[in-house]
């Protein structure tokens, strides 16, 4: 048996090729799989369960089929942090907290989206703090739909233009933040996404940090079993 991790699919109506690749993944890769973890940024942007786009509802149906065979867990990303109970229920996903500790085939592991580890990006961390306040979420949820759609479009374009200006190192995780989290959760291994830099990093003391890949030009999954851990590329259109 194996456990699969994916993240940073950034699904949107503009990219039917990615949606199709994910549907194919659900269809063909879940044999012998005991759990599927989606580590955030499943969607490029999410403005509320009540205004989910048709393609997203189709995906929900496909995820639900998978969820009938194994648990499908979801950790919010910075793009889809507003996915709520309604969409989770519709897609059969179990919503997990931001940081989760689990025993993965005998190895204590911590899993998260990863944006909280990019501590050098001060403006983003300030925004993140603001965004996570309960009243911000409440206020946002009570805005008219047209307003929320407008805000989402603005967030998306602003994040695209500002990311181009940020230096390479600022956009990656901070090594200190990684070690601190491994320490505070008393875990040996960390699995996250967000940086779009798939890799299996060996750290000191036999610890490791594994980064799942994004789905921009190909699909990507992390496959963990009792005696193997592997990042696998899934070419589009196959
Ligand atoms: Mn992200």
How far apart are the CA of 121 and the centre of ligand 1, in A?
A: 13
How far apart are the CA of 125 and the centre of ligand 1, in A?
A: 13
Of 213, 209, 216, 210, nearest to 233 by C-alpha is 213
Give the range of the structural domain holding residue 116, as residue numbers without chain letter.
Answer: 2-234
How far apart are the CA of 41 and the centre of ligand 1, in A?
A: 5
Exposed / middle / buried, residue 37 (Cβ in 10 Å: 0-12, 13-18, 19+) = buried
How far apart are the CA of 192 and the centre of ligand 1, in A?
A: 10
Q: What is the pLDDT along the chain (238 residues), one digit of tens a residue?
A: 999 999 999 999 888 999 999 999 999 999 999 999 999 999 998 989 988 889 999 999 999 999 999 999 999 999 899 999 999 999 999 999 999 999 999 999 999 999 999 888 888 888 888 877 777 878 888 888 888 888 877 876 776 666 555 555 557 899 999 999 999 999 999 999 999 999 999 998 899 999 999 999 999 999 999 999 999 999 998 6
Which phi-psi region, left, alpha or beta, contains residue 97 (left: φ > 0; alpha: ψ -120 to 50)? beta
> What is the count of structural domains for the chain?
1
- Which residues sit with Cβ closer than 5 angstroms to ligand 1, an ion? 41, 77-78, 194
Interior CA angle at 83 toward 121 and 66, to 5°? 115
The CATH number of residue 142's host domain is: 3.60.21.10
């Amino acid at each position: 048996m194996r456990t699969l991790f994916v993240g940073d699919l950034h699904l949107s109506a503009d990219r039917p090729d990615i949606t199709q690749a994910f549907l194919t993944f659900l269809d063909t890769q879940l044999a012998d799989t005991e759990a599927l973890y989606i580590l955030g940024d499943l969607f490029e942007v999410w403005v509320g369960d009540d205004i989910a786009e048709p393609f997203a509802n189709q995906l929900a149906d496909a995820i639900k089929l998978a969820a009938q065979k194994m648990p499908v867990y979801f950790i919010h990303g910075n793009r889809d942090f507003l996915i709520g109970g309604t969409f989770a229920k519709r897609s059969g996903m179990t919503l997990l907290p931001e940081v989760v500790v689990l025993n993965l085939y005998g190895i204590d592991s911590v899993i998260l989206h990863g944006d909280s580890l990019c501590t050098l990006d001060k403006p983003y961390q300030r925004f993140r703090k603001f965004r996570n306040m309960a009243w911000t979420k409440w206020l946002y949820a009570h805005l008219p739909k047209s307003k929320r759609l407008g805000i989402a479009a603005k967030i998306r374009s602003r994040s695209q233009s500002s990311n181009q200006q940020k230096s390479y190192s600022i956009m990656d995780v901070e090594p200190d933040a990684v070690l601190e989290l491994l320490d505070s959760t008393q875990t040996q291994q960390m699995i996250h996404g967000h940086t779009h830099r798939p890799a299996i990093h060996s750290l000191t003391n036999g610890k490791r940090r594994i980064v799942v890949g994004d789905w921009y030009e190909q699909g990507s999954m992390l496959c963990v079993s009792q005696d193997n851990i592997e990042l696998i590329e899934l070419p589009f259109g196959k």
